[in-house]
Chains A and B, each alone.
Chain A
Amino acid sequence: MSNNDTKAPANKFLTVVKKVVSHQMFIPIMALLILAIVNLAFDPNFFKITLGKNNAGNPILSGPLITILDYGAETAILAIGMTLVTAAAGGQDISVGATIAIAGSAMLRVLCGTNPSPDTIQAPIIVAFLVACLVGMACGAFNGALVSFFKIQPMIATLILFTAGRSIAAWINLNKLPVVPDPKFAYFGGIIPGIPVPTPIFIMIACVLIMALILKFTNLGLYTQSVGINEKSAKLNGINPILIKFIAFVILGLCVAVAALIKVSRISTINYSVIAKDIEMDAILAVALGGNALSGGKFNMWASILGAYVFQFLTTTLYKFNIASSALPAYKATVVILLVFFSAPKVRETIGKGFKKLKESIGKSSKGAAGKASEGEA
């Protein structure tokens, strides 16, 4: 659109730069790179991964990178479902933290029965997990029904479970805090003896793969985006918007159950008011950091997952700088605001214009640098 005075090869280069810069994945990837560089600058060993042994004498990989991948798993898994819900319903589910508590509590109820500290588990772990899946999906279905059938805005509809969820979770186990006696249960949030990579990483990869397959071999993506962009015309093309929105919430419910498995397994018990606290905010931010519009429509799943890891990377980095965990949110918030500020279309446009003016005033000599920046708009 501009730069028609540039020579052909330079122009081509600029088009490529423009394409790269304006790509949805640019901001999250840039953020990851900057974080990596900052970390490397302060700690050359940041990317070092060492093989050590844990308390039980099992081999385990450790290092900041592993920590990031490990602890970012829940947010990444939730980001999958949250992206779908955002795209289809044009709103967010703020109840995921509370529903993790419900699903986790249900899992513990099945594993431990009514006795808070049994000697053996009362049911196979797989049964407990399946029950958690059902509970998670039921919560998703409840939210989904309110949003799709009753046409209540997602944030408001999910406010119900957000308010009641943790109380329901406490009620399921009558406010007792059961402890799972079987060490195998701790595998899901820790490591499986003999495999040095933390299990959550595998679970996360499995979820991402399954989602990738679903997106490839079904029309979920096309349908969801159609419903999110223009519900009426999607309907006239034979798509059932109610069903699609409902499904998005149910899928998120499933993601919640998986995240609950990891969360509960990490500590083998539960704390109703603290478990997965604020994780809904992390998941929503992951979607936003990935450059997806929170008003719904087009989405990019991979950008959301990347967004989740940007967030976790940031957390780990801040810990490395010895920032107290309670003060962490202030720093996170600052970074998030900077990120969304610079990815806001309006801001990019203004910056682009500013650079163009600068370019004009400096003249053609410095075309390269300013030109690049002005291409940052769009």
Chain B
Amino acid sequence: MDKKKLKVKGSIFNRISDTNLLLCITIVIFLLMYISAVVFLGGGFKKPQMFFNILNNEAPLIITACGMSIVMISGGIDISIGGVVALVSMSCAVYLDKTPGGGNLWVSLLIALAIGLLFGIVQGYLVSYCEIQPFIVTLAGMFFARGMTTIVNTDPFNVENSAFRKLKDTRITIPKMGSYTKKGLYQAAYIEIGVVVALVIVVVLFLVLRYTKLGRSFYAVGGNPQSALMLGINVKRTKFLSHVICGLMAGIGGYVYFLHVGSGAPSHATGMEMNAIASSIIGGTMLTGGVGNIIGTLFGVLSLSSIQNIVSSAGLGQAWWTGITIGAMLCLFLLIQSIVMWAKKRSLKA
């Protein structure tokens, strides 16, 4: 009678953690989707550059979504990142082009980091030490950033700074992945600098979350803040740092975005926060906190972007299909997550 109780239950659900379970689902679904796109749609999808373009376009989102995931894992949320990205690109654009004699690239990078950090620090302070709900704080942060963007400069404009343009047009070619155009010209596959930055950040943050005390604290605080406190974790500081990291990522993401589009505009990165949240969720992060993974977030962004590409290549020309399909996919992912977690709970009970 005792032996039975002592045996650790052996079902698959029991052995895998929530985080890994959701990660696996995401990767499988992404692969299925992309492979079926290659098989059934062919065309652009057959070329590796299609994939690299997704990376080029979505590098800023990857970076900001990673920051978002960390905040979400800690049990918070940050609505401000789209606004911060817009503010960063506008400020850098104004600095680079409107300073007499042209601005310095490094200084513009510093500006970007400073803005991101500042938002992170102020919001983090209000959330963790003043105990105001993160949703409200960062919502106000978003409004503030959007407003400030137009105060910095009302109209969109392209940056002409030569050093900047050079950096912007830098392409890193990938050997053996190129393809031939219809005319038989070889086009080398390439990625932009932003992609390298994004991938480095993914790796770094993955390692931070997995192997550092701070990273594990994010999970603990998100899982149960009360318990985390009792376990000797400085909950307030942990929450604060999660927002600081997210702010920093918004700053870096903002600069990469700026590098990609090469302009400043108040309407830049509209809705990026929601895309970041959606990617995190598709990547298996739960808004309730404590569950999530940076690799999952990367796949979340890739899935989201692939859906958009698939919709437009599938010949559903009308603009509305993109929105509807993304909504439907999001719904599908959420339902799958919900059902899997439910099944898991059920199998544990039995």
Are A and B in contact, CB atoms below 8 Å, in the complex?
A: yes
Say yes or no for B126: interface residue by CB 8 A criterion.
Answer: yes
> Do the beta carbons of A167 and B327 come within 8 Å of each other?
yes
> Do the beta carbons of B288 and A330 come within 8 Å of each other?
no
Question: With A and B bound together, what is the CA distance between A299 and B288 in angstroms?
Answer: 22
Q: Which residue of A lies closest to B323 (CB)?
A: A167
Which one, B129, B135, B141, B154, contacts A92 given CB within 8 A? B135
> Do the beta carbons of B319 and A344 come within 8 Å of each other?
no
> Do the beta carbons of A337 and B130 come within 8 Å of each other?
no
Say yes or no for A217: interface residue by CB 8 A criterion.
Answer: no
> Do the beta carbons of B266 and A284 come within 8 Å of each other?
no
Question: With A and B bound together, what is the CA distance between A328 and B149 in angstroms?
Answer: 11
> Do the beta carbons of B334 and A288 come within 8 Å of each other?
no
Say yes or no for B177: interface residue by CB 8 A criterion.
Answer: no
Contact with B along A141-152 (1 / 0, CB 8 A): 000001000111
> Do the beta carbons of B133 and A163 come within 8 Å of each other?
no
Segment of A14-22, A44-52, A168-176 engaged in the interface with chain B: A168-176
> Do the beta carbons of B132 and A340 come within 8 Å of each other?
yes
| Given A160-B334, A346-B131; A168-B136 close (CB under 8 Å) | no
Question: With A and B bound together, what is the CA distance between A186 and B274 in angstroms?
Answer: 34
Which one, A167, A285, A330, contacts B320 given CB within 8 A? A167
What residues of chain B lie closer than 8 Å to A237, measured between beta carbons? none
What residues of chain B lie closer than 8 Å to A295, measured between beta carbons? 133
What residues of chain B lie closer than 8 Å to A285, measured between beta carbons? 136, 139
Question: With A and B bound together, what is the CA distance between A174 and B338 in angstroms?
Answer: 33
Secondary structure at the A interface, as helix, strand, loop or mixed, is helix
Question: With A and B bound together, what is the CA distance between A153 and B129 in angstroms?
Answer: 25
Question: With A and B bound together, what is the CA distance between A159 and B278 in angstroms?
Answer: 8
Say yes or no for A2: interface residue by CB 8 A criterion.
Answer: no
Q: Which of A325-342 contact B (CB under 8 A)?
A: 326-334, 336-337, 340-341
What residues of chain B lie closer than 8 Å to A328, measured between beta carbons? 147
Contact with A along B56-89 (1 / 0, CB 8 A): 0000000000000000000001000000000000
What residues of chain A lie closer than 8 Å to B135, measured between beta carbons? 92, 155, 284, 294
A-B contact count (CB 8 A): 140
Chain A residues with a Cβ closer than 8 Å to the other chain, count:
47
Say yes or no for A60: interface residue by CB 8 A criterion.
Answer: no
Question: With A and B bound together, what is the CA distance between A161 and B323 in angstroms?
Answer: 9
Of A155, A160, A281, A344, most buried by chain B (CB within 10 Å of CB) is: A160
Say yes or no for A354: interface residue by CB 8 A criterion.
Answer: no
Say yes or no for B163: interface residue by CB 8 A criterion.
Answer: no
Which one, B126, B147, B288, contacts A337 given CB within 8 A? B126
Say yes or no for A359: interface residue by CB 8 A criterion.
Answer: no
| Given A171-B320, A295-B133; A333-B141 close (CB under 8 Å) | yes
Question: With A and B bound together, what is the CA distance between A294 and B131 in angstroms?
Answer: 13
Question: With A and B bound together, what is the CA distance between A336 and B135 in angstroms?
Answer: 12
Say yes or no for B324: interface residue by CB 8 A criterion.
Answer: yes
Q: Which of B301-317 contact A (CB under 8 A)?
A: none
Which one, A156, A165, A326, contacts B287 given CB within 8 A? A156
> Do the beta carbons of B334 and A157 come within 8 Å of each other?
yes
What residues of chain A lie closer than 8 Å to B338, measured between beta carbons? 150-152
Question: With A and B bound together, what is the CA distance between A327 and B288 in angstroms?
Answer: 33
| Given A92-B135, A284-B139, A333-B141; A146-B323 close (CB under 8 Å) | no
Question: With A and B bound together, what is the CA distance between A336 and B327 in angstroms?
Answer: 31
> Do the beta carbons of A330 and B136 come within 8 Å of each other?
no
| Given A160-B334, A324-B154; A171-B130 close (CB under 8 Å) | no
> Do the beta carbons of B144 and A330 come within 8 Å of each other?
yes
> Do the beta carbons of A175 and B136 come within 8 Å of each other?
no
Say yes or no for B148: interface residue by CB 8 A criterion.
Answer: yes
Q: Which residue of B lies closest to A157 (CB)?
A: B334
| Given A333-B141, A333-B143; A341-B324 close (CB under 8 Å) | no
> Do the beta carbons of B140 and A337 come within 8 Å of each other?
yes
CB B225 to nearest CB in A, in angstroms, measures: 13
Which one, A159, A168, A333, contacts B324 given CB within 8 A? A168
What residues of chain B lie closer than 8 Å to A153, measured between beta carbons? 287-288
> Do the beta carbons of A162 and B274 come within 8 Å of each other?
yes
14 sampled A-B residue pairs with Cβ under 8 A = A150-B335, A159-B281, A160-B327, A163-B323, A163-B326, A163-B330, A164-B324, A166-B323, A167-B320, A168-B320, A168-B324, A324-B154, A330-B148, A346-B131
For the complex of A and B, 3 pairs with smallest distance between CB atoms: A330-B147, A164-B327, A167-B323
What is B's interface to A at a CB cutoff of 8 Å?
A: 77, 126, 129-133, 135-137, 139-144, 146-148, 150-151, 154, 266, 274, 277-278, 281, 287-288, 318-324, 326-328, 330-331, 334-335, 338-339, 342
